Amino acid sequence: MRSSISAVLILTAWAVAPAIANEPSLGSAASFAVLGGSSVTNRGATRVTGNVGVSPGGSVSGFTAASLSAGEIHRDDALAGSAQRDVRDLLVSGACTPVALSGTVAPGNYCIASLPQQLTLDGGADAVWIFRASADLRTAAGSSIVLMNGATASHVFWQVAGSVTLAPLTRFAGNILATGDITLESGATLYGRALARGAVTLDGNVVTLCCDPITLMPLTSARISAAGGTAPLTFVASALPPGWSLSSAGVLASAFTPNRVTFIVTATDANGCTGSRAYSVVFPSSPVGGPTLSFWLLVVLGVGLVMVGVRMLP
């Protein structure tokens, strides 16, 4: 039997206790979504919101008028040169002892050697994460960085003493600063900046530093709703149990489940921008009948996540 949900909604969070991170200043690099040292090369239907630049090299290729939104190309001019110096000053050399990341991590400083398939950053709007890698860093195909409870991509920093590769269909968040090259493979999305001392290569990607949050609301009925973004919004859910479904309009249907169910819902707006929220639903021990609901709504407390949504100009 399918029904709306009778539930107590609670937040489940897992956190690591790292050292507090102080946010670095990007200086002149702040206006760049993409910055290379030797070259910037694009293949495919890439869209970049923000400036694209290169210095001391001068090669920027593969961009059309449709590729750039609210940005300009800077070929080894004063701004690009100043931005590269600021990126250089932010990069930290030397080895560090990596920790294994998984699940959800709190704000702070981390030394890493690899990334899990999904990493969730849980913190408020002013929370800062700094991830440092002393060698090359590559994501797995289809992997993602999820921002929870108001965390924003602008306060996430990846300082890599090597090259960075975002594998196909990766959804990544934060400011990537690399001593080597940065490569975004086919379909990868970056909410943040790609700032490389080497070359930057793009291939049918979305790169944006212009953020407009999409907030999913607490669950008080069988319909999930969101604020922000550009209509229409569509909804998808991950890890739903058998007998459950979520329509693209946000209508949640469920079979009776006598235990806790935890899932994540992601809203996508007309510009491809996203927002996500984690929900944990606790059912009563047995179903209760009613004229319109199979379960009577008990107490619903909304807690969870706001992931950055991005407005991209046409």
pLDDT in tens, 251-269: 988 776 667 888 888 887 6
pLDDT the model gives residue 272: 58
- Kindly state the average pLDDT of the residues 103-129: 91
C-alpha distance from residue 21 to each of 100, 106, 144 (Å)? 18, 11, 22
Question: Which range among 113-122, 153-162, 224-233 shows the weakest confidence by mean pLDDT?
Answer: 224-233
pLDDT the model gives residue 261: 84
Greatest C-alpha distance within the chain: 71
| Multiple choice CATH, 2-15+212-307, 3.40.50.12780, 3.30.70.250, 3.40.50.970, 2.60.40.10 | 2.60.40.10
Mean pLDDT estimate for the chain: 80
Q: Are 183 and 164 in contact (CB under 8 A)?
A: yes
- Residue 270: what are its φ and ψ, rounded to 5°? -65, -20
pLDDT in tens, 189-207: 999 999 999 999 999 999 9
pLDDT confidence of 9, banded at 50, 70, 90?
Answer: very low
pLDDT the model gives residue 94: 72
Task: Select the more confidently predicted residue: 294 or 86.
Answer: 86
- How many other C-beta atoms lie within 10 A of the C-beta of residue 295? 19
Cα–Cα distance for residue pair 226/217, rounded to 1 Å: 5
Q: Are 71 and 49 in contact (CB under 8 A)?
A: yes
176 strand-pairing partners: 158, 194
pLDDT confidence of 297, banded at 50, 70, 90?
Answer: very low
pLDDT confidence of 312, banded at 50, 70, 90?
Answer: very low
- Kindly state the average pLDDT of the residues 86-114: 88
CA 286 to chain centre: 38
Is it the case that residue 56 has pLDDT exceeding 80?
yes
Is it the case that residue 226 has pLDDT exceeding 60?
yes
Q: Domain coordinates of the chain in residue numbers?
A: 2-15+212-307, 27-208
